[in-house]
Structure formats: C-alpha cells, structure tokens
Amino acid sequence: MFASPIRLHYNWQTMNTPAQETYDVIVIGGGASGTALLYTLAKYTDIKRLALVEKYADAGLVNSNAKNNSQTLHVGDIETHYSYKKAAEVKPASMMVARYTERLPEEEKQKIIRKMQKMALAVGEEEVKALRDRLVHLKEIFPTIEGLEGKDIAKLEPEVMKGRDPKEPVFALYNPEGYAVNFGELSRSFIRATKERASERADILFNTEVTSITKNGEGYRLETNNGILEARAVVVDTDAYSLGFAKSLGYGKEFSLIPIAGTFYFGPEVLRGKVYRVQDPKMPFSAAHGDRDIDAGGKTRFGPTARFFPVLEARNYGSIGGYFRASGLGKWKTWKSFYDILLEPVRFKYLLKNVAYEFPYFGRFLFLPEVKKIIPTMSGFSLRRAKGYGGMRLQRVDTNTKELLLGEGKIIGHNIIFNMTPSPGASVCLFNAMRDACEIEKFFKNEFVFDKNRMQQDLGCENLETGTDVSLKANYPA
C-alpha cells in the first residue's frame, strides 16, 4: 500500500524554491514525452497532486527543441527501415499529435504543426525495386501514398530532378498528407493546456534539476537543487538521462548506450517538403535527408549526421560524466558489445565518414555527396553548418545479447517508469503517455481512474488497420 500523502504548503510565487512537498505522481523532464504525460494525467485522470520537474527555465528545450530534431511526424510512410507492422502501429500512435492540434486555436496550431508533403527517394535499380515493392504493402496502410516516376517527382520537387543523370533509375514514394511539427512548441502547448485545466492539481517546477532518486517506502524521494520532493509514483521522461536514473535504482543494469550526435547543414530553400532516402538496412540511423525547416524560414536543412560522441545532451559537456555512469563502460561485456556493433564494417565506415562532416570549413564539401543524392546541383559553397542545431540519439544496447535496440525503450519498476525516447519518441509522445497512464492506474490499484476511452475518442488512437488496441502492446515499438 502507498503511504498516505503529506500535504504541505506550496506557493506558486516561489515556484523555483519549492517547500518540501509530496505528490501522487511526479514526471521528471519537460520535453514532448514528459509534458504529454502531464497533460494526459491532468486531463484524463482524477489524480490529485501532480508535478512536472524540469531543469531548464521552459519546456521543450532539449531534444524536443525544433532546432535539435528533424521536425518530422513519423508515421511510417517514408521511413523505409520500418517493417510494415511497425508502420501500421506507429501511424495511429503518431497521428494522436495531429489530432491534438486540431482542437487548438489556429494561431497556436500554426506554431506547432504544418501540413507538408513527404517523399522517400530511391536512386539506382536496387533501391527502386525495393521501393516499388514497398508501395504495394504501404498503400493498404496509407491510402494517400503514391509512387512517382522521375517526371512526376520533377513536378512536385523540381530541384530533386534538376541536373540528375537521365539514365539513373529513380522512383519516389509520395505522401501529400505529411506533417512537420515543432515539438518544442508542442511541449509548451501541453504545459499551457495543463495550467488552464488543472493548475490547482498540477505544479510545474522549472529550473529544478533532479540530482538523485531514492526509494522511500512505497514511493520515492527526489533530491533537487531546490529541495526535496516526494512522490508516490514517478515517471522519468528524461530521454538519454533516464537509463542513469534507472541504474541508480538497480534497474536496467544490462543496458548501455551508444551516443550518436546528429547535427545539420543548412542550404538554400530548394525543397517544398521533406525528402528522405532509402535506408540501408544495416544502418540503425536514418540516412541524411532534406527537410524544409518550419522554424528557420527560407532554408532547407540537410542531415542529421551521425557521429559517436560521449555526452547525454548536445552542447552540454557537463553531461560527459553522466554518459560514462549510465553506459556501464566499466564492464567487459559493454566493450564487447560496442566492438561487435560499431566495428561492423558498413557502420564503422559510416561513422568515420560522419566525423569528417564536422571538420570546420571542409566538412561541408565532404558532406556534399550525401546532399547531392537529393539535390544533384547543390554546391558545397551553398551549405553551411547549422550552428547550435542538433541533438543526441542515445541508442540502447543490450549487453547480454550484444543487440542494438532501436526506437524507444521503457523500464517499468515498482511505482516508477523510465522512458528512453530516441526517434520516433517525439512523434509518439501522446501514445506513450497513454500507455504510462495505464501503468500508473495499476500502480495506484485503481485509486485513481484513467479515462482511456475518452482519450482515445478525443485523439483517435485506435489502430484502424487491424481493429486492435495498439496501446496494449508491451514491447511497442522497439
């Protein structure tokens, strides 16, 4: 049983220096994942005391920041490394974000989401054949998707065909029903919506960094730079940092993290939408793509690059220590797993090339061949490093099986959940929140009710293809 909640005075004026307080649920991390969960708990449950704890002064400033990711609502249509099954599951999970924004005032919606055409581009016979085959299956999941030959690609994305060798076979999957999302704005929208409906039940504690989590009876005690907080249940939504917290409590000891930094180059406005490339199945990271940027107007963003860099947070060198603590590099089996995964010849060559893309001045010329696969006429002089852009993709490794685990991961402990959320974590944030709300309901043995049906009705998260409820899957989607 849970200890009964202590109710101490909490003053909104002194948000940055909270008095000691006990909550029913504390969510740590104010990115898309944590804010989506706070919103879900505030709107669809009757939990009495909620808090979101975020170390920075606002929400959505780390991986969910529009500068740090590719702004794509991943639904599985142009992600050629997703199996059909995964595409069928990710689509309804991600579309919850689009459905959420439909109810917002037009001005707020415009800041968060834009309809944007998307393509997956195949170049060369092998890729073209693979993409043609894929179209047959995808059509069942995405009725609006079409296959385009070169002349049709030229009508929709002229620069993709300009200057291309006419003998080179090309083919594209095209979906006019794509979306670009500013996940940072989305996070702030969840915070606003929570404040509007549940300010008396939910405290939002910015500038509050959790330094340790310890077990406290049935619940947890959180040490922060602003004092001690207690919670009957905790959800750690700190993406790359979550595994470190899990390990400090004895969970997830078998996992390590391969830290892949993703940075970008800017080019002139040459694309109308998003152009992805066919993914090499050996590569765990998506191939560099071209995206019309919805935040930095008038530019196309190319990337992300993929470079091994041992930090948990981009441009935060203080997070090196956290990486070494979380990754278990003191263990031989971690090194053996890294050796097997990273020295696989195709990956090793790819990672080496990506180091070169970061060289000052010359990096853009070395990166140019990647861009030319999308825009054949691009010149190296037109590219410039997107300074201050890019994030960290921490890929989990199971050191027992030496497997690289793609997609998000979740560890469910005793009244605590740890979410690790690389791509498509931001796209599926509401779906993930729905799953966590189900777990929290179980933690509290139905003392609080989660109105999942209402959430599903509001946000349309039923898996329309199979008629099954995707939220029941325990291993989704990694």
The one among 78, 120, 202, 210 contacting ligand FAD by CB under 6 A: 210
- x/- letters, 104..143, toward ligand FAD (CB under 6 A): ----------------------------------------
Distance CA 194, CA 185 (A): 14
Distance of CA 290 to the CA centre of its chain: 18
Residue 56 near ligand FAD by CB under 6 A? yes
How many helices and strands (H and E) does the chain possess? 14, 22
Residue 327 near ligand FAD by CB under 6 A? no
- x/- letters, 171..200, toward ligand FAD (CB under 6 A): ------------x-----------------
Least separation in angstroms between CB 66 and ligand FAD: 10
- CA nearest 49: which of 366, 442, 448? 448
Give me the torsion for CA of 70, 68, 37, 284, rounded to 10°.
60
- x/- letters, 373..412, toward ligand FAD (CB under 6 A): -----------------xxxx-------------------
Residue 427 near ligand FAD by CB under 6 A? yes
Distance CA 332, CA 466 (A): 44
Closer Cβ to ligand FAD, 171 or 175, answer by number: 175
**Per-residue tokens: 50:** 């909620």
Least separation in angstroms between CB 36 and ligand FAD: 8
Closer Cβ to ligand FAD, 24 or 239, answer by number: 239
- x/- letters, 436..475, toward ligand FAD (CB under 6 A): ----------------------------------------
Least separation in angstroms between CB 224 and ligand FAD: 7
- CA nearest 322: which of 223, 240, 249, 252? 240
Closer Cβ to ligand FAD, 116 or 160, answer by number: 116
The one among 185, 239, 293, 370 contacting ligand FAD by CB under 6 A: 239
The one among 22, 40, 45, 70 contacting ligand FAD by CB under 6 A: 70
3-state secondary structure of 125: helix
What is the end-to-end Cα distance of the chain in Å, rounded?
33
Distance CA 215, CA 203 (A): 22
Least separation in angstroms between CB 348 and ligand FAD: 20
**Per-residue tokens: 60:** 């959505």
Residue 53 near ligand FAD by CB under 6 A? yes
- CA nearest 287: which of 243, 350, 340? 350
Closer Cβ to ligand FAD, 64 or 175, answer by number: 64
Which residue pairs, CB below 8 angstroms and at least 24 apart, start in 374-381? 374/121, 374/160, 374/271, 374/275, 374/277, 374/289, 374/290, 374/302, 375/159, 375/160, 375/162, 375/267, 375/270, 375/271, 375/290, 376/162, 376/163, 376/164, 376/165, 377/159, 377/162, 377/163, 378/267, 378/270
Residue 72 near ligand FAD by CB under 6 A? yes
Q: List contacts with ligand FAD (CB under 6 A).
A: 28-34, 53-56, 61-64, 68-72, 74, 183, 209-210, 237-239, 241, 262, 304, 390-393, 421-427
